[in-house]
Amino acid sequence: MSEVVVVDYGAGNTRSVCAALGHLGRATVVTSEPGRIKDADFVILPGVGSARSAMEHLNETGAAAALRDRFTDDVAILGICLGMQLAMARSEEDGGVEGLGLLGGDVVRLREARVPRLGWSVVEPWGEAYYFAHSFAVRSPEAIATVEGVTVAVRHDKFLGVQFHPEKSGPAGLDFLDQCLSLV
Amino acid sequence: MPLPRLIPCLDVAGGRVVKGVSFVGLRDVGDPVELAQYYSDGGADELVFLDITATPEESATMTSVVARVADVLAIPFTVGGGVRSVDDAKRIIESGADRVSINSAALADPSLITAIANRFGSQAVVVAIDAGDGVVHTHGGRVATTTATVPWAREAAERGAGEILLTSIQQDGRRNGYDLALTARVRDAVSIPVIASGGAGSARHVADALRVTDAALVASIVHEDPTGLAGLRKEIEELGVKLRPLSEHYG
């Protein structure tokens, strides 16, 4: 069975991601060790917390460099919520934070009547509803899906980023994760 | 705007779900994980667990309930009751909850709202307000403070709360409708989502609340028959409120 690594950056809700993968019969390792991140068959960069503290943690542990190496080698990475946002060049969160810079694009505060955006939205063009909880969103030329004009998924080779939380999106979310894993 | 949310609330005491009327007269209505499973299957958009005893001895019990729910269900949920520090919030979020709800502790020390938001993001902080006669109440609704409800909601939002959970003490458990006027006043005062709570007795009550605000909490109306949530959703949709489309996985 191939190894799925869930990257730990100190504030993420890694438990729910691991539970969701457990439902799919996949064992997970939660770590920020660069060696494990580089060698895993599949890496998930989960998403809860603030951009600044997450990037500090990834830089200090060497996980950031390992993620860049993986990306260059074109090995699968799934970024969830903040995990997707961290893949961009920069974010305006926390007064401006430099991201991993894997993909072109940046992260800006949502401009809508009520922020954070909390709840379920149907993702276009996929037609399925997933659960969102975010105050910031990406702008990227690599966008592949949107909600009301806001980019909610990006893809570049084997990097896939989603703004929603598949691990909290019920059966539809588990299906989504299963499809991601089957691509490896 | 995200789709309107229907949120069953489970009051937890000693690891069991209980329900009272206007915060008193508690009775046992079931196991948290089992009820959560019914609600998840019935199409709950998320869940709220409130530890209504919230003594320090209880916190370990609550953490284990949170972990069991997170391990079994892929559904977003908020946990409140007994969250008095960033460490309390950390313990609950690391156990698998998406958000913590804070009430008395935020009133006593409003900087707690900002501290939790800075660590876990605003989306992780719900400020629960138990409102009656225009003022905020504490101790499960029993003690009136001098803090006015609407200004407190505004302050909570300014300090970094990601959502307001607004309970009308008068309406709670009585099943004769939400306090829509109060809900509208708080909604207009803030630019974060507001959950209406207290008073749901019929699909029409919930539909009315969802026309006023982002989300509605339901408790007594679903606890009698947790398998009835799917039916409630259908009735709400028949009243013209569009809810989340459920995939073919749901019954």
pLDDT digits over B95-113, tens only?
999 999 999 999 999 999 9
In a domain, B250, yes or no: no
Task: Tell me the CB-side half-sphere exposure of residue A76, using CA atoms within 13 A.
Answer: 18
Give residue-wise pLDDT tens across range B16-61: 988 765 556 677 888 999 999 999 999 999 999 999 886 666 778 8
- Give me the helices (H) in B32-103, please: 32-41, 58-72, 86-94
What confidence score (pLDDT) does residue A130 get?
97
Instruction: Provide the pLDDT confidence category of residue B250 given band limits of 50, 70 and 90.
Output: low
Task: Return the SS3 of B251.
Answer: coil
* Structural domains of chain A, count: 1
Tell me whether B124 touches chain A (CB under 8 Å).
Answer: yes
Catalytic entry in A18, A81, A142, A156: A81
**A-proximal residues of B, 149-208, CB under 8 Å:** 162-163, 191-193
In the block, which residue shows the tokens 């009051």?
B11
The token pair that represents B200 in the structure block: 């749901």
- Cβ contacts (< 8 Å) between B6 and chain A: which residues? none
Q: Do A15 and B215 touch (CB under 8 A)?
A: no
B166: phi then psi, degrees, rounded to nearest 5: -105, 110
Residue B179 annotated in active site: no
Of B120, B215, B244, the CB nearest to A129: B244
Contact A172 B215 (CB under 8 A): no
Kindly report the nearest CA distance between residue B44 and chain A, in angstroms: 10
The pTM of this model reads: 0.95
Write the CATH number for A73: 3.40.50.880
- Give the β-pairing of B135-138 and B125-132: antiparallel
pLDDT of residue B92: 94
Tens digit of each residue's pLDDT (9 = 90 or more) over A130-141 = 999 999 999 999
Nearest to A70, CA basis, from A95, A94, A44, A109 = A44
Which residues of chain A make contact with B241, given a CB cutoff of 8 A? Answer: none
Is B245 part of a structural domain of the chain? no
Any domain includes B247: no
Q: Which of B20, B53, B19, B15 is nearest to B34 (CA)?
A: B15
Q: Do the chains contact at B96 and A122, CB–CB below 8 Å?
A: no
Write out the DSSP string of A101-147.
--SS-EEEE--SSSSSEEEEEEEBTTTEEEEEEESEEEE-TTEEEEE
The answer on pLDDT for A68 being more than 80 is yes
Cβ(B80)–Cβ(B49) under 8 Å?
Answer: yes
Asked about A142 being catalytic, the answer comes back as: no
CB nearest A116 (choices: B40, B123, B247): B123
Indicate if ipTM > 0.90. Answer: yes
Catalytic residue among A134, A142, A156, A167: A167
pLDDT value at residue B247: 72
Compare all CA atoms of chain B with the CA of A170 and give the residue at the minimum distance: B74
Please answer whether residues B193 and A113 qualify as being in contact, where contact means their C-beta atoms are separated by less than 8 angstroms: no
pLDDT band at A158; cut points 50, 70, 90: very high
State phi, psi for B49 to the nearest 5 degrees.
-110, 125
Is the N-terminal amide bond of A116 cis, ω within 30° of 0? yes
Q: Read off the CATH number of the domain in which B91 is found.
A: 3.20.20.70
**Number of domains within chain B:** 1
* Strand duo A42-45 + A77-80: pairing: parallel
Q: Which domain holds residue B25?
A: 5-238
Substitution target in B98, B186, B229, B242 with the highest count of A β-carbons within 10 Å is: B98
Q: Which tokens belong to B157? A: 């939002």
Chain B residue with minimum CA distance to A13: B94
Q: Look at A170 and B249 and tell me if their CB atoms are within 8 Å.
A: yes
Q: B59 CA to chain A: closest CA distance, Å? A: 19
CB-CB neighbors (< 8 A) of B237 in chain A: none
Q: Do the chains contact at B76 and A172, CB–CB below 8 Å?
A: no
The residues near B18 (Cβ < 8 Å, ≥ 6 apart) are: B11, B12, B26, B27, B28, B29, B52
Is residue B251 a part of any domain in this protein?
Answer: no
The backbone region for A66, taken as left when phi is positive above 0, alpha when psi lies in -120 to 50, beta otherwise, is alpha
Q: What is the mean pLDDT of chain A?
A: 94
| Residues of chain A that touch chain B, judged by Cβ-Cβ distance less than 8 Å | 11, 13, 15-16, 19-20, 22-23, 48-50, 53, 82, 112-122, 128-129, 131-135, 148, 165, 167-175
User: Which residue range(s) make up the domain with A178?
Assistant: 4-182
pLDDT of residue B56: 65
Can you tell me the distance from the alpha carbon of A9 to that of A63, in angstroms, rounded to the nearest whole number?
A: 9
B56 cis-preceded (ω within 30 degrees of 0): no
Residue of B45, B130, B172, B179 with catalytic role: B130
Residues 43-102, chain B: which have Cβ within 8 Å of A?
45-46, 67, 70-72, 74-76, 93-99
What pLDDT, on a 0 to 100 scale, did the predictor assign at position B21?
57
Closest-CA distance, B16 to chain A, in angstroms, reads: 22
DSSP A28: E
